[in-house]
Amino acid sequence: MSARRKAINPRSLGLATRAIHGSHVAPYQGPVTTPIAQTSTYRFQSSDDAVRYAAGDPGVYVYTRYHNPTVRELEERLALIMGCEKTLVFASGMAAITSAIFSLVRDGDEIVSTTALYGGTYRFFRDSLPNHGVGVRFVDHEGVPEIGRMITRKTRIVYFETPTNPTLAVIDIRKLVAAVRNAGRRAGAKPVIMLDNTFATTLNQDPFSLGVDAVVESGTKYLGGHSDLMAGVVAGSETFIAGVHGVLKHLGGCADPLAAFLLLRSLKTFDLRVERQNRNALELATFLEGMRGVKRVIYPGLRSHPDHRIAKKQMAGFGGMVTIEVAGGVRSAVRVCDALRIAVNAMSLGGVETLVSIPVYSSHINMKPAELKRHGVTPGMIRISTGIEHVDDLKKDFREAIGRR
């Protein structure tokens, strides 16, 4: 079954529209915002409700780890925005990713994955999955055109991220999908193609329209957008999501109703924020390119980016992430980050405030030079998550900080 469902007008669906108004906890004549159903359990009208629940009636609420009206409202809204049949919201991005993976793999299965992954996912693949009899075969993103060669009868999932962290390489999604489908047919396998869309978000990159089966995303980043909540999302077909929901109930990574409320609030400005972040990132990247003391600016929206052509083809916007390399190595990178007065020196990304981090001190800490080289990471790199500040303030901040390098 296709995961895709035609969205009505995805850019406005973060707002209270008639499309889903009145669905669960926001009846007509009710509040404009979605109330928080801050409860762990639900009063049955009579014991018949328990029987109806056991028989599969989706209208009966039993326990918040299974279902919650505020969380459900959020999940329906996200399904409309992301253009898919169903979504599930989790306590964090990692809860979403691990539950989605566990819903699909069995002892003896294999995953084919790109190497340039979020650190948590990479370590889960490297350190945890083998204990469950699941092997992971890694491919560098340059090797993606030949990804078909890695597909075997045992391949259950093909997993990837684009743009990658922190070097912002862009993988041609359509090409990857075609290669996997062809190889799968030859090998007698039908791998689920799963993408972590955290960096781009659905507003900049619509994976389902490019043939991807399942999307995972950290709601902590652009979806939340205010650095004040933790959440994760899994999106795809109804059948797939039903399987993930079973795992959610076992592993218990359910979203808290308050976090769901905050995320619903965030969705109202999702389009505004991402549009501004895209614009600020492009302008800041252009400004920094060629500046004295800056050796390299990596941004998929720049013509100098090696994958610019692919990015233009598959992305509606180039995102808020910019990576620069300053002359003088990690000492200079540290001096720049410590001298910034508007941008905040902190991990994470996607918030309204600009954040900077040094990959060799964060995502790629303790890696040997050879490993760093393979990941394309250099000591002088600074990763910038562009916020919604006035771009002139950001330019001034970076110009001054880089001047003190």
Segment holding 265, helix H or strand E: helix 257-267
- Segment lying near ligand PLP (by CB under 6 A), choices 215-223, 297-305, 306-314, 366-374: 215-223
Nearest distance from residue 46's CB to ligand PLP, in Å? 40
* Residue whose entry in the numeric block shows the structure tokens 């001034």: 396
Lay out the site mask for ligand PLP across 147-186 (x = CB under 6 A, - = otherwise).
--------------x-------------------------
Amino acid letter, residue 298: I
Q: Measuring CA to CA, which residue among 68, 113, 105, 123 is closest to residue 90?
A: 68
Please tell me which residue in 42, 53, 118, 159 is annotated as part of the active site: 118
| Active site (annotated) includes residue 156 | no
- Segment lying near ligand PLP (by CB under 6 A), choices 33-41, 118-126, 239-247, 278-286: 118-126
- Segment lying near ligand PLP (by CB under 6 A), choices 90-98, 180-188, 207-215, 330-338: 90-98
Residue 213 engages ligand PLP in binding (rule: CB under 6 A): no
Nearest distance from residue 245's CB to ligand PLP, in Å? 19
Residue 259: both structure tokens together: 């976090």
* Residue whose entry in the numeric block shows the structure tokens 């980043």: 221
| Active site (annotated) includes residue 221 | yes
Instruction: Please select the residue that binds ligand PLP; options are 87, 113, 205, 220, rule is CB under 6 A.
Output: 220
Residue 344: both structure tokens together: 């905040």
- Segment lying near ligand PLP (by CB under 6 A), choices 39-47, 194-202, 310-318, 319-327: 194-202
Residue 92 engages ligand PLP in binding (rule: CB under 6 A): yes
* Interface size with ligand PLP, residues (CB under 6 A): 15
Residue 196 engages ligand PLP in binding (rule: CB under 6 A): yes
Q: Measuring CA to CA, which residue among 77, 130, 125 is closest to residue 100?
A: 125
Nearest distance from residue 28's CB to ligand PLP, in Å? 34
Please tell me which residue in 72, 86, 221, 405 is annotated as part of the active site: 221
Residue 226 engages ligand PLP in binding (rule: CB under 6 A): no
Contact 386, 354 (CB under 8 A): yes
| Active site (annotated) includes residue 118 | yes
When the beta carbons of 139 and 231 are compared against ligand PLP, the nearer one is: 231
When the beta carbons of 155 and 201 are compared against ligand PLP, the nearer one is: 201
Q: CA–CA separation, 253 vs 372, rounded Å?
A: 33
Instruction: Please select the residue that binds ligand PLP; options are 81, 230, 298, 358, rule is CB under 6 A.
Output: 230
Amino acid letter, residue 322: V
Residue 132: both structure tokens together: 């469950």
Cα-based distances in Å from 399 to 337, 346, 356, 357, 385:
12, 19, 14, 17, 16
Length of the chain: 405
Nearest distance from residue 232's CB to ligand PLP, in Å? 5
The C-alpha torsion from 7 through 11 and 13 to 18, rounded to 10°, is -80
Residue 232 engages ligand PLP in binding (rule: CB under 6 A): yes
Q: CA–CA separation, 401 vs 260, rounded Å?
A: 38
Question: Which letter does DSSP use for residue 223 in this model?
Answer: I
Beta bridge partners of 136: 111
Q: CA–CA separation, 302 vs 279, rounded Å?
A: 12
Contact 151, 183 (CB under 8 A): yes
Nearest distance from residue 119's CB to ligand PLP, in Å? 8
| Active site (annotated) includes residue 196 | yes
When the beta carbons of 93 and 293 are compared against ligand PLP, the nearer one is: 93
When the beta carbons of 199 and 398 are compared against ligand PLP, the nearer one is: 199
Contact 202, 82 (CB under 8 A): yes
Residue 236 engages ligand PLP in binding (rule: CB under 6 A): no
Residue 92: both structure tokens together: 């964090």
Residue 118 engages ligand PLP in binding (rule: CB under 6 A): yes
SS3 of 397, please? helix
Residue 214: both structure tokens together: 């399942």
Handedness of CA 271, 160, 313, 377 (dihedral sign): positive
Residue 351 engages ligand PLP in binding (rule: CB under 6 A): no
Amino acid letter, residue 366: N
Please tell me which residue in 172, 196, 307, 397 is annotated as part of the active site: 196
Residue 94 engages ligand PLP in binding (rule: CB under 6 A): yes
When the beta carbons of 198 and 386 are compared against ligand PLP, the nearer one is: 198
Active site residues: 65, 118, 196, 221
Using CB under 6 A, list all residues that contact ligand PLP. 92-94, 118, 120-121, 161, 196, 198-199, 218, 220-221, 230, 232
